[in-house]
Amino acid sequence: MRIFEIIILVITFLSLLLRFLRTDKAAWIHLLPTLNLLAIGYHLFFEGARWQMILLYVLAVGIIPLAFHKAIHPEHKFNQKFTIFGFVFLLVGTALPAFLPVPVFPVPQGPYAVGTTSFYWEDENRLEVYSPNLDQVYAQPPSESRRMMVQVWYPATAGQIGEPAPYLPDGVINAQALAKNFGFPGFFLNHFRLATTNALLNAPLATCFDQWPVLVFSHGLNGMRYQNTAQMEALASQGYIVFAPEHAYGAVISVYPDGSAIYNKEGALPSGVSEEEYASAAYILGQSWVGDLVFTLDQVERMQSGEISSVFLGHLDTSRIGMFGHSTGGGAVLQTCWQDQRCLAVVGQDPWLVPYDRAMPASGVSQPSLNMFSENWVREPNLSLVNQLWENETQGSQLQRMTILGTQHYDFSDISLYSPLGAALGLKGPISAGREISLFNDFLIGFFDQNLMNPDSILLEAAIQEYSEVNFEQK
């Protein structure tokens, strides 16, 4: 709960408690509930209202006329049954905002402040393979280029005063799409629009180094470009510029500057069809995502050269590029690195290889790679492909993989910050939010530090020693 929400709770609790005490000689003390008018006003102005607080709003305001009556007529005795009911009401009213909090992101531990900005790009060399018409799953509309929203996190100049970036770039429309994806009513996650991050919008790029290494992130199916914000901020605070393209029709929603929106394409991976039909549809999706990533690498080079105007002109070290991704995005970054040598190191988080070229696991990835697995993710038909990739080591490559006990597939994302009930609801594993966020960040930072910044880095080895819940292998 946020600070003014806690203040409202405390004032309301004390107001109910007063009803059990003898206060005949200090009847003015019963005016305590009126302080909630001020607390609620500050709450609405600085924090914003949310539906989870409705019961607390009602109780806090409802007590005020009773308080005035008691202050004027101190001899009046309270109905204790009503007071007990008030405590029960308070308990339920507190549970809602506590169990469905506004997400709060951990402060990045790196030496740099973090900035973020977004870009809208069109790939004029690729036509969109999906149609907005749900009845035309694989239609290819003429002259419709592939459109992409891309968010970037980067080390920023210290001491800047600015607007913290919202977690949801497009507010309520993002929140409603997420709620629908989880099977909740549309309003259920609207409080996510109130969440802010540690990054400042459009902050100046840090200038303590001429160039910064580059990372590219690919989200999972039904995910979004900002789904791993805690990881993005941690990496940017360590000196990386992280690009995260959003894969339209595969993301839960993509919203463009003109106000148009594209939702996830359910028919992109059809159900109730033959294995051949499914494999063909999955391959179309996979190639679309790989195309997004290759295009992102192209755009990074154009930014570096100045062909695309941006704050990053001359500051992107295109000789030090790494990639990481989750689920379908994990497979996409492995495929991209397999075919594009601009990528020097790659991390897959529960990588799903089904939509990608079978030649990739058959021949192996030549770059240093780390595949992170949740406890029970590797299942058929993905398991065979993952094992094949592990067995087919390319000469000179460094293959590493790890399994994290106590985690599930979505633990790699920010889901642990959504609710303390995540594990009880089966949305995440039993590992605590703080522990898993630190674990993922430490392994990502350690891996990329060793492979993009400092070959003698001991950060990865330190992470292996620190987290006993990790089963780590390398070859």
Fold of 113-474: Rossmann fold (3.40.50)
Half-sphere exposure for 134 (CA within 13 Å, toward CB)? 7
pLDDT attached to residue 255: 96
Closest C-alpha to 103, from 433, 404, 426, 411: 433
CA distance 301 to 315: 11
Q: How confident is the model at residue 139 (pLDDT cuts 50, 70, 90)?
A: very low
pLDDT digits (tens, 9 = 90+) for 109-138: 999 999 999 999 999 999 898 876 644 444
Collect all residues with Cβ–Cβ distance below 8 Å to 386 and sequence separation of at least 6. 351, 353, 361, 371, 378
144-187 pLDDT tens trace: 899 999 999 999 998 888 889 999 999 999 999 999 998 999 99
What is the spatial distance between Cα 393 and Cα 369, in angstroms, rounded to a whole number?
A: 11
Closest by Cα among 441, 14, 72 to 236: 441
Residue-level pLDDT at 135: 47
- Report pLDDT for 76: 67
Q: What is the pLDDT of residue 19?
A: 72
The three-point CA angle 212-217-220 to 5° equals: 170
pLDDT of residue 54: 96
What is the tally of helices (H) and strands (E) in the chain? 12, 13
pLDDT at 78: 63
Q: What pLDDT score does 163 carry?
A: 87
Q: Which of 71-80, 331-340, 369-378 has the lowest mean pLDDT?
A: 71-80
Structure tokens at 257: 């500057």
CA neighbor of 129 nearest in space, from 287, 261, 7, 301: 287
Which is more confidently placed, 105 or 160? 105
Question: For residues 24 and 229, which has the higher predicted lDDT (pLDDT)?
Answer: 229
Kindly state the average pLDDT of the residues 293-319. Answer: 97
Domain ranges of the chain: 3-99, 113-474
Mean pLDDT computed over 72-90: 78
Cβ–Cβ under 8 Å, residues 120 and 257: yes
Scanning the structure block, which residue is given the tokens 């993905």? 382
Residues with Cβ within 8 Å of residue 33, at least 6 apart in sequence: 11, 12, 15, 60, 63, 64, 66, 67
pLDDT at 304 over 90: yes
Tell me the pLDDT band of 285, cut-offs 50, 70 and 90.
Answer: very high
pLDDT grade, residue 79 (50/70/90)?
low
Mean pLDDT calculated for residue range 371-396? 87
**pLDDT confidence band for 269 (50 / 70 / 90):** confident
Least confident of 50-59, 96-105, 258-267, 316-325: 258-267
pLDDT at 22 over 70: no
